[in-house]
Amino acid sequence: MSRTTKGAADAERPGDDTLSRVELQLALLLRRAERTGAVRAGHTPALERSGYLLLLVLGTEGPLGINALAERQGLDASTVTRQVVSLEKAGFARRGRDPQDGRAVRVEATAAGRRQLEYERVRRAALYDQVLADWSPVERATLASLLERLNQDLDAFRREPEGR
Amino acid sequence: MSRTTKGAADAERPGDDTLSRVELQLALLLRRAERTGAVRAGHTPALERSGYLLLLVLGTEGPLGINALAERQGLDASTVTRQVVSLEKAGFARRGRDPQDGRAVRVEATAAGRRQLEYERVRRAALYDQVLADWSPVERATLASLLERLNQDLDAFRREPEGR
DNA sequence: GGACTTATCTGTATCCCACAGATATCTACC
DNA sequence: GGTAGATATCTGTGGGATACAGATAAGTCC
């Protein structure tokens, strides 16, 4: 079927070929990275991953509605609704009705939200600075590039799974 | 403090420097990759990520106890207990008492479990073969290597956060 | 003004995971 | 041999992230 996986029920052992390596490392990464940036030693972050990414979009693209936010992030609108409620509760976002369209909502980052976003960004960068302590600038840049490309390709794949 | 992050409350915009790029892309990746391998189009996978990784350890290192499994994966034992129960319910693992130590448990993959693991592995590899359709073999290999290294470094960091 | 569409929200369900507190065993030591 | 402490696992509980389905409110169109 797929050229690279050959006989499917092949005799490869886990980790043998490149794709399996990538796949396995990604599975591991999901778990590792999740916990690393998060609840380190009782430090409950004011901003979880979801809120962080949401604020980032808000900060970059200004006030948006729920659907727009959901679309930009490839999430369900119901998920975004809850994330916004949560940000609002924390004082990092504000929700107002769209004057043009009474159904729609206008989500906006507050000053505290922008501050917190910046704080998080710096904190996370510092964290990875430590994790990648042994990496050369070139290696770090390569990692960044490959991840960017991987994310783009994952996005593209989600939009239209190539195989049918 | 950290050489690369300079002034901390610096004027960098998101994505400006390498660390921010890495950090951001990882945050995005967590979300993307999670959904991609998983519930694609009603295809409820018999093996979720957690069960997959657990079976992988079991397959590689043979029968193990809960604590050993938890340690190898950097998880809490309570989490592993539930994962094992779930695998057992699905018929992919078996749990028996350790004859030497009545407190301990011996978790073992069943034949069905090994079959399913292999099936998953192939399925996931094929998936990434599609996602990485445009990548050259060298690029794929680079990605695999960098991810492996990143995971190692994340692991090391979790064990002993370098800064204090 | 009724019918259809759209934007958001609420209900419900699934994963994944951790921490705290049982419970059952084992090990040491007197 | 019995008791105290260590150890292995399990159970209770709770939180984060997300999706799908259905409810509600507000536009739009004829």
| Beta-carbon count within 10 A of B5 CB | 20
Q: Cα separations (Å) of B30 from A41, B24, B25, B68, B141?
A: 21, 10, 9, 26, 20
Average pLDDT over residues A25-30: 91
**Bases of chain D with protein Cβ within 7 A:** 7-12, 16-22, 25-28
Q: Tally C-beta pairs within 8 A across A and B.
A: 224
The helix (H) or strand (E) run that includes residue B30 is helix B18-37
D12 C1' – A55 CA distance, angstroms?
35
**B121 neighbors A23 (Cβ within 8 angstroms):** yes
- Backbone Cα Rg of chain B: 20
The string of pLDDT tens digits covering residues A43-92 is: 566 788 899 999 999 999 989 999 999 999 999 999 999 999 999 999 99
- Mean pLDDT taken over chain A: 85
Give me the helix-helix angle, B111-131 and A18-37, nearest 10°. Answer: 90
Output the DSSP codes for A62-127.
-SB-HHHHHHHHT--HHHHHHHHHHHHHTTSEEEEE-SS-TT-EEEEE-HHHHHHHHHHHHHHHHH
Q: Does residue B115 or residue B10 have the better pLDDT?
A: B115
Q: pTM for this structure?
A: 0.84
Q: According to CATH, what is the number of the domain B40-131?
A: 1.10.10.10
Q: Does residue A150 or residue B2 have the better pLDDT?
A: A150
Kindly state the tokens that stand for B45: 């996978």
Whether A140 CB is under 7 Å from strand D:
no
CA nearest to A7 within chain B: B122
